[in-house]
Structure 1
Amino acid sequence: MIRLVTKARKLAAIVAMPAWRTALQRHRVAAGVEHARVLRNLGAVRTVVDIGANRGQFALVARHCFPDARIVSFEPLAGPAAVYRRVFEGDGCVTLVESAVGPQPGEAEIHLSRRDDSSSLLPITERQDELFPGTAEAGTARIRVVRLVDVLQAQEVTAPALLKLDVQGFELPALEGSEDLLPQFDWVYVECSFVELYAGQALANEVIAWLRERDFRLTGVFNMTYDRAGRAIQADFLFRKS
Protein backbone atom coordinates (compact mmCIF):
# COMPACT_ATOMS: atom_id res chain seq x y z
CA MET A 1 0.00 0.00 0.00
CA ILE A 2 2.81 2.42 0.91
CA ARG A 3 4.57 1.71 -2.40
CA LEU A 4 1.38 2.38 -4.35
CA VAL A 5 0.89 5.70 -2.57
CA THR A 6 4.53 6.65 -3.25
CA LYS A 7 4.17 5.80 -6.95
CA ALA A 8 0.96 7.80 -7.18
CA ARG A 9 2.60 10.85 -5.61
CA LYS A 10 5.59 10.53 -7.93
CA LEU A 11 3.34 10.32 -10.98
CA ALA A 12 1.39 13.38 -9.83
CA ALA A 13 4.61 15.37 -9.42
CA ILE A 14 5.82 14.32 -12.88
CA VAL A 15 2.54 15.21 -14.57
CA ALA A 16 2.60 18.64 -12.93
CA MET A 17 5.90 19.59 -14.64
CA PRO A 18 5.76 19.99 -18.46
CA ALA A 19 9.35 18.85 -19.11
CA TRP A 20 8.98 15.81 -16.88
CA ARG A 21 5.59 14.98 -18.39
CA THR A 22 7.06 15.15 -21.88
CA ALA A 23 9.97 12.87 -20.95
CA LEU A 24 7.52 10.31 -19.58
CA GLN A 25 5.09 10.49 -22.49
CA ARG A 26 7.62 10.57 -25.34
CA HIS A 27 10.51 8.55 -23.93
CA ARG A 28 9.06 6.59 -20.98
CA VAL A 29 11.57 8.22 -18.62
CA ALA A 30 10.24 9.01 -15.14
CA ALA A 31 12.09 11.93 -13.56
CA GLY A 32 13.64 11.10 -10.18
CA VAL A 33 11.36 13.46 -8.30
CA GLU A 34 12.47 12.03 -4.95
CA HIS A 35 15.71 13.98 -5.37
CA ALA A 36 14.08 17.37 -5.92
CA ARG A 37 13.74 18.31 -2.24
CA VAL A 38 17.43 17.55 -1.70
CA LEU A 39 18.65 19.53 -4.69
CA ARG A 40 16.47 22.57 -4.01
CA ASN A 41 18.23 23.09 -0.68
CA LEU A 42 21.72 23.24 -2.23
CA GLY A 43 21.36 26.73 -3.64
CA ALA A 44 22.60 27.73 -7.08
CA VAL A 45 24.69 24.83 -8.38
CA ARG A 46 26.55 25.62 -11.60
CA THR A 47 28.06 22.22 -12.45
CA VAL A 48 26.46 18.79 -12.03
CA VAL A 49 28.45 15.62 -12.71
CA ASP A 50 26.03 12.71 -12.87
CA ILE A 51 27.75 9.30 -12.71
CA GLY A 52 25.33 6.47 -13.42
CA ALA A 53 22.84 8.50 -15.42
CA ASN A 54 20.79 5.66 -16.94
CA ARG A 55 18.06 7.34 -19.03
CA GLY A 56 18.40 10.76 -17.42
CA GLN A 57 16.04 10.37 -14.45
CA PHE A 58 18.31 12.37 -12.13
CA ALA A 59 19.45 14.81 -14.81
CA LEU A 60 15.84 15.83 -15.49
CA VAL A 61 15.45 16.92 -11.87
CA ALA A 62 18.88 18.57 -11.82
CA ARG A 63 17.98 20.58 -14.93
CA HIS A 64 14.75 21.74 -13.26
CA CYS A 65 16.44 22.71 -9.98
CA PHE A 66 19.52 24.25 -11.65
CA PRO A 67 18.31 25.68 -14.99
CA ASP A 68 21.64 27.40 -15.72
CA ALA A 69 23.94 24.56 -14.72
CA ARG A 70 26.19 22.54 -16.96
CA ILE A 71 25.36 18.84 -16.62
CA VAL A 72 27.92 16.15 -17.51
CA SER A 73 26.49 12.65 -17.29
CA PHE A 74 28.10 9.21 -17.52
CA GLU A 75 26.21 6.10 -18.67
CA PRO A 76 28.06 3.02 -19.96
CA LEU A 77 25.15 1.10 -21.52
CA ALA A 78 24.26 1.95 -25.10
CA GLY A 79 20.48 1.47 -24.76
CA PRO A 80 19.88 3.84 -21.84
CA ALA A 81 22.45 6.27 -23.27
CA ALA A 82 20.49 6.49 -26.53
CA VAL A 83 17.30 7.32 -24.62
CA TYR A 84 19.16 9.93 -22.54
CA ARG A 85 20.30 11.67 -25.73
CA ARG A 86 16.74 11.83 -27.04
CA VAL A 87 15.46 13.25 -23.74
CA PHE A 88 18.03 16.07 -23.75
CA GLU A 89 18.22 16.68 -27.48
CA GLY A 90 18.75 20.38 -28.08
CA ASP A 91 20.03 21.16 -24.58
CA GLY A 92 23.47 22.60 -25.24
CA CYS A 93 24.43 22.56 -21.56
CA VAL A 94 24.12 18.78 -21.25
CA THR A 95 26.91 16.36 -22.17
CA LEU A 96 26.67 12.57 -22.07
CA VAL A 97 29.79 10.40 -21.86
CA GLU A 98 29.02 6.79 -22.77
CA SER A 99 31.28 5.30 -20.12
CA ALA A 100 31.54 4.20 -16.53
CA VAL A 101 33.88 5.94 -14.08
CA GLY A 102 36.47 3.92 -12.19
CA PRO A 103 40.02 4.01 -10.79
CA GLN A 104 41.59 2.49 -13.92
CA PRO A 105 40.76 3.51 -17.51
CA GLY A 106 40.14 0.84 -20.11
CA GLU A 107 37.47 -1.81 -20.64
CA ALA A 108 35.56 -3.83 -18.06
CA GLU A 109 32.82 -6.43 -17.85
CA ILE A 110 29.47 -5.18 -16.64
CA HIS A 111 26.84 -7.50 -15.17
CA LEU A 112 23.56 -6.81 -16.90
CA SER A 113 20.40 -6.82 -14.83
CA ARG A 114 17.01 -7.70 -16.27
CA ARG A 115 16.22 -4.12 -15.29
CA ASP A 116 19.10 -2.17 -16.78
CA ASP A 117 19.20 0.51 -14.08
CA SER A 118 20.35 -2.23 -11.69
CA SER A 119 23.30 -3.35 -13.84
CA SER A 120 26.69 -3.18 -12.15
CA LEU A 121 30.40 -3.66 -12.60
CA LEU A 122 30.09 -6.02 -9.63
CA PRO A 123 28.28 -9.39 -9.71
CA ILE A 124 24.59 -9.16 -8.82
CA THR A 125 23.74 -11.20 -5.72
CA GLU A 126 20.62 -13.26 -5.07
CA ARG A 127 19.79 -10.85 -2.26
CA GLN A 128 19.47 -8.01 -4.75
CA ASP A 129 16.85 -9.95 -6.70
CA GLU A 130 15.06 -11.01 -3.52
CA LEU A 131 14.73 -7.43 -2.30
CA PHE A 132 14.12 -5.93 -5.75
CA PRO A 133 12.38 -8.61 -7.83
CA GLY A 134 13.20 -8.57 -11.52
CA THR A 135 16.78 -7.37 -11.12
CA ALA A 136 18.60 -10.71 -11.42
CA GLU A 137 21.64 -10.98 -13.69
CA ALA A 138 20.74 -11.58 -17.35
CA GLY A 139 24.18 -11.53 -18.96
CA THR A 140 27.36 -9.50 -19.31
CA ALA A 141 28.82 -6.95 -21.71
CA ARG A 142 32.05 -5.07 -22.27
CA ILE A 143 32.02 -1.37 -21.52
CA ARG A 144 34.41 1.57 -21.44
CA VAL A 145 35.75 2.91 -18.13
CA VAL A 146 37.38 6.31 -17.64
CA ARG A 147 38.70 8.35 -14.77
CA LEU A 148 36.84 11.62 -14.31
CA VAL A 149 40.00 13.63 -14.97
CA ASP A 150 40.29 11.94 -18.38
CA VAL A 151 37.09 13.68 -19.44
CA LEU A 152 36.98 16.91 -17.41
CA GLN A 153 39.62 19.47 -16.50
CA ALA A 154 39.53 21.18 -13.11
CA GLN A 155 38.73 24.55 -14.67
CA GLU A 156 35.64 23.06 -16.34
CA VAL A 157 34.06 22.27 -12.97
CA THR A 158 32.57 25.65 -12.14
CA ALA A 159 31.62 26.13 -8.49
CA PRO A 160 29.33 25.50 -6.77
CA ALA A 161 29.54 21.94 -8.09
CA LEU A 162 27.69 18.70 -7.30
CA LEU A 163 29.02 15.18 -7.85
CA LYS A 164 26.25 12.55 -7.93
CA LEU A 165 26.84 8.79 -8.03
CA ASP A 166 24.28 6.01 -8.48
CA VAL A 167 26.35 3.06 -9.63
CA GLN A 168 24.89 -0.05 -8.02
CA GLY A 169 27.54 -1.06 -5.51
CA PHE A 170 30.47 0.46 -7.41
CA GLU A 171 30.39 3.68 -5.39
CA LEU A 172 33.85 3.47 -3.82
CA PRO A 173 35.75 2.59 -7.04
CA ALA A 174 33.82 5.34 -8.85
CA LEU A 175 34.80 7.82 -6.15
CA GLU A 176 38.41 6.68 -6.47
CA GLY A 177 38.12 7.34 -10.20
CA SER A 178 36.90 10.85 -9.37
CA GLU A 179 39.47 11.64 -6.67
CA ASP A 180 41.71 13.89 -8.79
CA LEU A 181 38.80 16.30 -9.25
CA LEU A 182 37.11 15.78 -5.89
CA PRO A 183 38.46 19.07 -4.44
CA GLN A 184 36.51 20.93 -7.16
CA PHE A 185 33.16 19.77 -5.77
CA ASP A 186 31.15 21.35 -2.97
CA TRP A 187 28.68 18.48 -2.65
CA VAL A 188 28.70 14.71 -3.15
CA TYR A 189 25.36 12.91 -3.39
CA VAL A 190 25.68 9.13 -3.50
CA GLU A 191 23.45 6.10 -3.13
CA CYS A 192 24.90 3.65 -0.58
CA SER A 193 23.78 0.29 0.77
CA PHE A 194 23.71 -1.09 4.30
CA VAL A 195 23.71 -4.69 3.04
CA GLU A 196 25.62 -6.41 0.26
CA LEU A 197 23.52 -6.35 -2.90
CA TYR A 198 26.49 -6.65 -5.26
CA ALA A 199 29.37 -8.99 -4.52
CA GLY A 200 32.28 -7.20 -2.89
CA GLN A 201 30.64 -3.78 -2.70
CA ALA A 202 31.70 -1.20 -0.12
CA LEU A 203 28.89 -0.52 2.34
CA ALA A 204 27.69 2.87 3.57
CA ASN A 205 30.09 3.09 6.50
CA GLU A 206 33.09 2.57 4.21
CA VAL A 207 31.96 5.26 1.78
CA ILE A 208 31.32 7.67 4.65
CA ALA A 209 34.79 7.03 6.09
CA TRP A 210 36.48 7.45 2.68
CA LEU A 211 34.80 10.79 2.06
CA ARG A 212 35.46 11.97 5.62
CA GLU A 213 39.17 11.41 5.07
CA ARG A 214 38.88 13.77 2.10
CA ASP A 215 37.11 16.49 4.10
CA PHE A 216 33.54 15.73 3.09
CA ARG A 217 31.05 15.52 5.96
CA LEU A 218 27.73 13.71 5.90
CA THR A 219 24.90 16.25 6.13
CA GLY A 220 21.80 14.21 5.32
CA VAL A 221 20.34 10.78 4.55
CA PHE A 222 17.36 10.62 2.19
CA ASN A 223 15.05 8.22 0.38
CA MET A 224 15.67 5.30 2.74
CA THR A 225 14.61 1.87 1.51
CA TYR A 226 13.60 -0.89 3.94
CA ASP A 227 12.91 -4.59 3.67
CA ARG A 228 9.65 -6.16 4.87
CA ALA A 229 11.08 -6.57 8.36
CA GLY A 230 11.81 -2.85 8.59
CA ARG A 231 15.58 -3.19 8.18
CA ALA A 232 17.39 -0.50 6.21
CA ILE A 233 18.64 -1.56 2.77
CA GLN A 234 19.97 1.58 1.12
CA ALA A 235 19.61 5.36 0.96
CA ASP A 236 20.92 8.51 -0.70
CA PHE A 237 23.69 10.23 1.29
CA LEU A 238 24.54 13.92 0.94
CA PHE A 239 28.06 15.14 1.82
CA ARG A 240 29.37 18.68 1.97
CA LYS A 241 32.98 19.77 1.65
CA SER A 242 34.32 21.07 4.96
Structure 2
Amino acid sequence: LHHQGGMVETYLKLNQPWFQRHGFTTVLDIGANVGQFALTVAQLLPKAQIFAFEPIPSCFNQLQQAMGSCQNFTALNLGLGDERGELAFECNDYTPSSSFLTMTNVHTEAFPFTQGTAQIKVKIEQLDTIAQNLALTEPLLIKIDVQGYEDRVLRGGEQTVRRARMLIVETSFQSLYQNQPLFKDIYQVLTDWGFSYVGALDQLPNPKTGEILQSDSIFVQRNP
Protein backbone atom coordinates (compact mmCIF):
# COMPACT_ATOMS: atom_id res chain seq x y z
CA LEU A 1 0.00 0.00 0.00
CA HIS A 2 2.81 2.41 0.90
CA HIS A 3 4.56 1.75 -2.42
CA GLN A 4 1.33 2.64 -4.25
CA GLY A 5 1.09 5.99 -2.45
CA GLY A 6 -1.46 4.99 0.18
CA MET A 7 -1.30 5.64 3.91
CA VAL A 8 -0.34 2.54 5.90
CA GLU A 9 -0.99 4.05 9.35
CA THR A 10 -4.43 5.24 8.30
CA TYR A 11 -5.21 1.80 6.88
CA LEU A 12 -4.25 0.12 10.16
CA LYS A 13 -6.32 2.56 12.23
CA LEU A 14 -9.40 2.12 10.04
CA ASN A 15 -9.12 -1.61 9.39
CA GLN A 16 -10.85 -2.24 12.71
CA PRO A 17 -14.32 -3.45 13.78
CA TRP A 18 -15.52 0.06 14.74
CA PHE A 19 -15.00 1.24 11.15
CA GLN A 20 -15.79 -1.89 9.14
CA ARG A 21 -19.10 -2.55 10.92
CA HIS A 22 -20.67 0.41 9.11
CA GLY A 23 -20.41 -1.38 5.75
CA PHE A 24 -19.84 1.77 3.70
CA THR A 25 -20.96 1.44 0.07
CA THR A 26 -20.03 4.96 -1.10
CA VAL A 27 -17.05 7.18 -0.26
CA LEU A 28 -16.65 10.87 -1.13
CA ASP A 29 -13.00 11.96 -1.04
CA ILE A 30 -13.12 15.77 -1.04
CA GLY A 31 -9.63 17.20 -1.53
CA ALA A 32 -8.13 14.02 -2.93
CA ASN A 33 -4.70 15.43 -3.92
CA VAL A 34 -2.84 12.56 -5.67
CA GLY A 35 -4.92 9.75 -4.19
CA GLN A 36 -3.39 9.04 -0.79
CA PHE A 37 -6.75 8.52 0.93
CA ALA A 38 -8.48 7.07 -2.14
CA LEU A 39 -5.84 4.34 -2.45
CA THR A 40 -6.16 3.57 1.24
CA VAL A 41 -9.94 3.41 1.33
CA ALA A 42 -10.03 1.29 -1.85
CA GLN A 43 -8.05 -1.33 0.06
CA LEU A 44 -10.30 -1.02 3.11
CA LEU A 45 -13.58 -1.04 1.18
CA PRO A 46 -12.92 -2.88 -2.10
CA LYS A 47 -16.62 -2.98 -3.07
CA ALA A 48 -17.40 0.68 -2.31
CA GLN A 49 -17.89 3.32 -4.98
CA ILE A 50 -15.34 6.12 -4.54
CA PHE A 51 -15.93 9.64 -5.88
CA ALA A 52 -12.86 11.89 -5.55
CA PHE A 53 -12.71 15.68 -5.99
CA GLU A 54 -9.42 17.44 -6.80
CA PRO A 55 -9.12 20.94 -8.35
CA ILE A 56 -5.37 21.05 -9.23
CA PRO A 57 -4.90 19.66 -12.79
CA SER A 58 -1.48 18.08 -12.17
CA CYS A 59 -2.67 16.39 -8.97
CA PHE A 60 -5.86 15.28 -10.71
CA ASN A 61 -3.81 13.56 -13.42
CA GLN A 62 -1.70 11.76 -10.80
CA LEU A 63 -4.88 10.79 -8.94
CA GLN A 64 -6.38 9.22 -12.05
CA GLN A 65 -3.14 7.38 -12.76
CA ALA A 66 -2.86 6.09 -9.18
CA MET A 67 -6.45 4.82 -9.20
CA GLY A 68 -6.39 3.50 -12.75
CA SER A 69 -6.86 -0.13 -11.77
CA CYS A 70 -9.82 0.58 -9.45
CA GLN A 71 -13.09 -0.24 -11.21
CA ASN A 72 -15.29 1.57 -8.66
CA PHE A 73 -13.57 4.94 -8.88
CA THR A 74 -14.64 8.28 -10.39
CA ALA A 75 -12.49 11.43 -10.29
CA LEU A 76 -13.84 14.96 -10.75
CA ASN A 77 -11.44 17.81 -11.56
CA LEU A 78 -13.03 20.55 -9.46
CA GLY A 79 -13.12 22.12 -6.03
CA LEU A 80 -16.16 22.19 -3.78
CA GLY A 81 -17.53 25.17 -1.86
CA ASP A 82 -20.64 27.29 -1.44
CA GLU A 83 -20.58 28.84 -4.92
CA ARG A 84 -20.12 27.74 -8.51
CA GLY A 85 -18.02 28.97 -11.39
CA GLU A 86 -14.29 29.72 -11.53
CA LEU A 87 -12.28 30.88 -8.56
CA ALA A 88 -8.69 31.90 -7.85
CA PHE A 89 -6.79 29.10 -6.10
CA GLU A 90 -3.46 29.23 -4.25
CA CYS A 91 -1.52 26.31 -5.74
CA ASN A 92 1.34 25.64 -3.32
CA ASP A 93 4.71 24.12 -4.17
CA TYR A 94 3.74 21.53 -1.56
CA THR A 95 0.41 20.65 -3.16
CA PRO A 96 -1.33 19.24 -0.04
CA SER A 97 -1.18 22.77 1.45
CA SER A 98 -2.93 24.38 -1.54
CA SER A 99 -6.17 26.22 -0.79
CA PHE A 100 -8.75 28.73 -1.96
CA LEU A 101 -7.56 30.72 1.07
CA THR A 102 -4.32 32.63 1.65
CA MET A 103 -1.85 31.00 4.03
CA THR A 104 -0.96 32.66 7.36
CA ASN A 105 2.48 33.17 8.87
CA VAL A 106 1.71 30.46 11.42
CA HIS A 107 1.65 27.98 8.53
CA THR A 108 4.73 29.16 6.65
CA GLU A 109 6.82 29.50 9.81
CA ALA A 110 5.94 26.01 11.00
CA PHE A 111 6.43 24.52 7.53
CA PRO A 112 8.94 26.66 5.56
CA PHE A 113 8.68 24.38 2.51
CA THR A 114 5.16 25.78 1.92
CA GLN A 115 6.29 29.35 1.14
CA GLY A 116 6.06 29.06 -2.66
CA THR A 117 2.61 29.62 -4.15
CA ALA A 118 1.26 30.32 -7.64
CA GLN A 119 -2.32 31.46 -8.25
CA ILE A 120 -4.36 29.48 -10.76
CA LYS A 121 -8.04 29.47 -11.73
CA VAL A 122 -10.03 26.33 -10.92
CA LYS A 123 -13.61 25.20 -11.34
CA ILE A 124 -15.75 25.19 -8.18
CA GLU A 125 -19.16 23.64 -7.58
CA GLN A 126 -21.52 22.91 -4.70
CA LEU A 127 -21.54 19.32 -3.47
CA ASP A 128 -25.33 19.18 -3.33
CA THR A 129 -25.55 20.13 -7.01
CA ILE A 130 -22.94 17.58 -8.10
CA ALA A 131 -24.37 14.84 -5.88
CA GLN A 132 -27.65 14.89 -7.81
CA ASN A 133 -25.81 13.34 -10.75
CA LEU A 134 -23.84 10.76 -8.74
CA ALA A 135 -25.12 7.30 -7.83
CA LEU A 136 -24.69 7.71 -4.08
CA THR A 137 -25.79 4.75 -2.00
CA GLU A 138 -25.77 4.53 1.77
CA PRO A 139 -24.07 3.96 4.19
CA LEU A 140 -21.99 6.94 3.08
CA LEU A 141 -18.50 7.97 4.24
CA ILE A 142 -17.28 11.51 3.51
CA LYS A 143 -13.67 12.65 3.97
CA ILE A 144 -13.00 16.41 3.77
CA ASP A 145 -9.44 17.73 3.55
CA VAL A 146 -9.65 21.20 2.02
CA GLN A 147 -7.18 23.41 3.89
CA GLY A 148 -9.44 25.86 5.69
CA TYR A 149 -12.36 25.70 3.26
CA GLU A 150 -14.36 23.21 5.34
CA ASP A 151 -17.22 25.55 6.24
CA ARG A 152 -17.79 26.45 2.58
CA VAL A 153 -17.83 22.79 1.56
CA LEU A 154 -20.38 22.08 4.30
CA ARG A 155 -22.57 25.05 3.34
CA GLY A 156 -22.68 23.94 -0.29
CA GLY A 157 -23.26 20.31 0.61
CA GLU A 158 -25.51 20.24 3.66
CA GLN A 159 -28.10 17.85 2.22
CA THR A 160 -25.43 15.38 1.11
CA VAL A 161 -23.36 15.65 4.29
CA ARG A 162 -26.43 15.00 6.45
CA ARG A 163 -26.83 11.67 4.60
CA ALA A 164 -23.39 10.49 5.72
CA ARG A 165 -22.94 7.85 8.40
CA MET A 166 -19.41 9.08 9.14
CA LEU A 167 -17.26 12.12 8.36
CA ILE A 168 -13.48 12.42 8.55
CA VAL A 169 -12.75 16.17 8.49
CA GLU A 170 -9.41 17.91 8.78
CA THR A 171 -9.93 20.56 11.48
CA SER A 172 -7.55 23.25 12.73
CA PHE A 173 -6.86 24.59 16.22
CA GLN A 174 -4.90 27.61 14.98
CA SER A 175 -5.50 29.74 11.87
CA LEU A 176 -3.24 28.30 9.19
CA TYR A 177 -5.23 30.14 6.49
CA GLN A 178 -6.92 33.53 6.53
CA ASN A 179 -10.62 33.46 7.44
CA GLN A 180 -10.69 29.73 8.06
CA PRO A 181 -13.00 28.00 10.56
CA LEU A 182 -11.39 26.33 13.56
CA PHE A 183 -12.29 23.02 15.20
CA LYS A 184 -14.94 24.62 17.44
CA ASP A 185 -16.74 26.09 14.41
CA ILE A 186 -16.86 22.79 12.52
CA TYR A 187 -17.81 20.94 15.70
CA GLN A 188 -20.75 23.31 16.23
CA VAL A 189 -22.10 22.90 12.69
CA LEU A 190 -21.80 19.12 12.64
CA THR A 191 -23.24 18.53 16.11
CA ASP A 192 -26.17 20.76 15.10
CA TRP A 193 -26.61 18.44 12.09
CA GLY A 194 -26.86 15.35 14.26
CA PHE A 195 -23.25 14.15 14.36
CA SER A 196 -21.20 13.19 17.41
CA TYR A 197 -17.47 13.84 17.64
CA VAL A 198 -15.83 10.49 18.47
CA GLY A 199 -12.10 11.32 18.31
CA ALA A 200 -9.17 12.05 16.02
CA LEU A 201 -7.72 9.72 13.44
CA ASP A 202 -4.46 11.65 13.35
CA GLN A 203 -2.91 14.90 14.64
CA LEU A 204 -0.43 17.32 13.08
CA PRO A 205 1.95 19.05 15.53
CA ASN A 206 3.98 22.19 14.91
CA PRO A 207 7.49 20.75 14.31
CA LYS A 208 9.04 23.69 16.19
CA THR A 209 6.82 23.91 19.28
CA GLY A 210 4.98 20.59 19.45
CA GLU A 211 1.57 22.32 19.62
CA ILE A 212 -1.24 20.47 17.85
CA LEU A 213 -2.20 22.49 14.77
CA GLN A 214 -4.69 20.16 13.09
CA SER A 215 -6.43 16.85 13.53
CA ASP A 216 -8.40 14.51 11.28
CA SER A 217 -11.61 14.63 13.30
CA ILE A 218 -14.12 11.79 13.14
CA PHE A 219 -17.84 12.52 13.38
CA VAL A 220 -20.52 9.81 13.39
CA GLN A 221 -24.24 10.30 12.75
CA ARG A 222 -26.10 9.93 16.06
CA ASN A 223 -29.26 8.46 14.50
CA PRO A 224 -28.22 6.61 11.34
Partner AA of 1:229 in structure 2: T
Percentage of identical aligned residues: 29
Give the whole-Å Cα distance in 2 for the aligned partners of 1:147 and 1:129: 29
Matches within 5 A, 1:77-92: 77-92=56-71
Q: Does the C-alpha gap of structure 1 residues 37 and 172 become closer, same or farther in structure 2, counting only changes over 3 Å?
A: farther
Give the whole-Å Cα distance in 1 for the aligned partners of 2:151 and 2:13: 22
Contact 1:157–1:184 under 8 Å retained in 2: no
Shift of 1:146: 0.8
More moved, 78-87 vs 41-50: 41-50
Q: Which structure features the higher share of helix residues?
A: 1
Matches within 5 A, 1:51-66: 51-66=30-45
Shift of 1:180: 2.0
Of 201, 205, 211, the match for 1:231: 211
Match status 1:182 vs 2:157:
no
- Pairwise CA RMSD of aligned residues? 1.6
Give the whole-Å Cα distance in 2 for the aligned partners of 1:155 and 1:56: 19
Q: Does the C-alpha gap of structure 1 residues 113 and 90 become closer, same or farther in structure 2, counting only changes over 3 Å?
A: same
Partner residue in 1 for 2:187: 208
Q: Deviations over 1:150-207 (max 9, x none)?
A: 2223982211110100111111111112212122210010111100110110001100
Match status 1:31 vs 2:6:
yes
Partner AA of 2:19 in structure 1: L
Give the whole-Å Cα distance in 1 for the aligned partners of 2:140 and 2:32: 17
Partner AA of 1:235 in structure 2: S
Structure 2-normalised TM-score? 0.91
Shift of 1:38: 4.0
Give the whole-Å Cα distance in 2 for the aligned partners of 1:38 and 1:107: 37
More moved, 123-132 vs 211-220: 123-132
Contact 1:126–1:136 under 8 Å retained in 2: no
Partner residue in 2 for 1:118: 97
More moved, 75-84 vs 106-115: 106-115
SS in 2 for 1:151: helix
Give the whole-Å Cα distance in 1 for the aligned partners of 2:58 and 2:209: 35
Gaps of 5+ in 2: none
Shift of 1:230: 2.8
Gaps of 5+ in 1: 1-16, 24-29
Structure 1-normalised TM-score? 0.85
Q: Aligned residues, how many?
A: 217
Shift of 1:36: 1.8
More moved, 161-170 vs 30-39: 30-39
More moved, 228-237 vs 102-111: 228-237
Q: Does the C-alpha gap of structure 1 residues 79 and 154 become closer, same or farther in structure 2, counting only changes over 3 Å?
A: closer
Matches within 5 A, 1:1-242: 17=1, 20-21=2-3, 23=4, 30-40=5-15, 41-43=18-20, 44-153=23-132, 156-227=135-206, 228-242=208-222
Partner AA of 2:50 in structure 1: I
Contact 2:56–2:91 under 8 Å retained in 1: no
Shift of 1:90: 3.6
Q: Does the C-alpha gap of structure 1 residues 96 and 190 become closer, same or farther in structure 2, counting only changes over 3 Å?
A: same
Contact 1:154–1:181 under 8 Å retained in 2: no
Shift of 1:225: 1.8
